[in-house]
Structure 1
Amino acid sequence: GPAAPEGVGSDLFSLLVGLQHFLCYTCQEYVEDLAKIPRSFLQEANVTLRVIGQSSYHHIEPFCKLTGYCHEIYVDPEREIYKRLGMKRGEEVTSSGPSPHVRSNILPGSMWSLWRVVTGPLFGFQGDPGQQGGTLIVGPSHYIHFIHHDRNRPDHKPINSVLQLVGVQQVDFTGRPSVIHV
C-alpha cells in the first residue's frame, strides 16, 4: 500500500504525557527535562513525544517559553482524554520514592507555583488541580503498550525508563553537559 504521509501515522510509537496542570511546579520541572530530549534521539527511534495539558490553548506558548519544551503539545480543557484513559482525580498519599525530575522542595515549589499564577501573563484557568496525569506509550494503530497513572504530583514515571521501553537513547538529566558520541 501507499506510504503514510509525513507525520500522519508514520511514527512507530508515541509517548503521551498528561500533565496535572501547567502551573504545577512538578509538572514544569518534568517538562523541563522532557525538553532536554534531543529531537534526533526521537527521530532515530521513530518516536513522537506529545504533552497534553488541561488548560486553554492560550497557555501553550508561555508554558513552552518557561520550560524550553519544543516537541508537540496539546490541550484538553474538558479533560476528555484524561477521563478516557482512566487518569485519576485526587492525590494518593503513597510515595514511589523521590523523582529524579523534581528538584524543588514542596513548600518552595508550591509558593513558586502560586507566584506564577498571580504574576503570570495569562492569569486564569490552568486546569483542575485535583486531576492527575500519566504517561503512555501508544503505537501503531492506537494500541496502548504501556500506561502509568500518576498517583500524586511527584509520581511522574522516570523519563529514561519510558525512553528505554521505546528504544530511545537515554538522556543525562543531571544538568552536566553530556558527551554525545558520533
Structure 2
Amino acid sequence: MLRGDEKPEQLSEKINWESVDQYELENENGSKILFADVYKGVQTIVIFIRHFLCFTAKEYVEDLAKIPREKLESCRVRLVIIGCGDVKFMKQFRRDTGYWAEFYTDTKMGLYKLMGCKTTPDIGNLSSSKHAKSSAVMGIIKSAIRSTNFPGEWQGDTNQQGAAFIIGPDHDCHFRHIDANSADHYPINKLLDLVNIENICFMKDSGVITV
C-alpha cells in the first residue's frame, strides 16, 4: 500500500487517534461530525485543502471531482475533502469545482495541526504540479473574481497548507503526504494506484480513463 520510506505502522503511531477521533468538523449545513465517523468502517482518501479562494486548491478539487463515483464505490473507498474556511463558503466552492463527494470544514484548523499540516505562504513551483492549470497571475485573477461572491471576506487562512492521507477502516494510516507549499498536491493518479483504482487522464497527467 505505502509508497515511501515510512511504513503504515510507523505512520499510524504518529497520529494521536484519541484526539483526532473526537475532533468535530462541520458540513455545508453546519451540522457537526466527529472525525472518527468520517472514515469509520471504510478505507478513506482524506484530502486537506487550503482556503476556499486558493486557485491551486480549486483546480486540484476539480480534478478530484472527476474520479468516477462508481469506481470508488466498487472498491469500497470513500473520498473526503476538508477545508479551513467558514461553513458559509462551502456550497459556493462545491458549485465552483463540481465536487460531488463528502466535504467538511475545520475552521479552527485544529485537525490540520493534529495531522501535521504545515503553515507557510510559499506557492511553490506550479509547473511541477499535475493539477495546477493556471499561472500564478491568472490564478490570482480568477480567485479575485470568485471573491466577489463574498466581497471583503477571508475564506480561510492563506498560509494554511494541505495534505493527503489514506486511512481506515480502523486506526490505520496507510499513506500520508504533507504539502510543502501550495503547488505540492499529491498526484491523484498515484493516490488511485494506492487504493487499486484505475487511473484517469487529466489535462497534465496521462492515465487510462479519458475524462
TM-score range, shorter chain: 0.7 to 0.9
Q: What is the rounded CA distance, in whole Å, between the counterparts of 1:62 and 1:97 in structure 2?
A: 27
TM-score by length of 1: 0.85
TM-score (norm 2): 0.74
Where does residue 88 of structure 1 map in the other structure? Answer: 118
CA-based RMSD of the aligned residues comes to: 2.5
Distance (Å, rounded) in 2 between the aligned partners of 1:8 and 1:19:
17
How far 1:60 sits from its partner (Å)?
1.3
* Aligned residue number for residue 169 of structure 1: 198
Structure 1 consecutive aligned stretches of length 4 or more whose deviation exceeds 6 Å: none
Q: Which residue of 1 aligns with 2:25?
A: none
- Structure 2 Cα separation of the partners of residues 75 and 163 of structure 1: 23
**What residue in structure 2 maps to residue 136 of structure 1?**
165
Deviations, residues 96-135 of structure 1 (Å, cap 9, x unaligned): 9611111101111112112222x11475231110011010
C-alpha distance in 1 between matches for 2:40 and 2:50 = 27
The AA in structure 1 aligned to 2:181 is: N
**1:126-166 deviation per Cα after TM superposition (whole angstroms, max 9, x unaligned):** 11100110100002213111111111111100000011001
Select 1:36's aligned residue among 66, 77, 87.
66
Residue 9 of structure 1 and its aligned partner are, at CA, apart by 3.0
Q: How does 1:42-81 map to 2 (within 5 A)?
A: 42-81=72-111
8 Å CA contact 1:59–1:122 kept in 2: the answer is no
Q: 1:40 to 1:121 in 2, by over 3 A?
A: same
Q: What's the % identity of the aligned pairs?
A: 37
Change (3 A) 1:123 1:75: farther
CA distance in 2, matches of 1:149, 1:31: 16
Aligned position for 1:3? none
What runs of 5+ residues in structure 1 fail to find an aligned partner?
A: 1-6
What is the Cα deviation at residue 170 of structure 1? 1.1
Q: Which runs of 5+ in 2 are unaligned?
A: 1-37
Q: Deviations over 1:27-59 (max 9, x none)?
A: 000000000001101011110000000011111
Aligned length: 172
Give the Cα separation in 1 of the matches to 2:161 and 2:75.
28
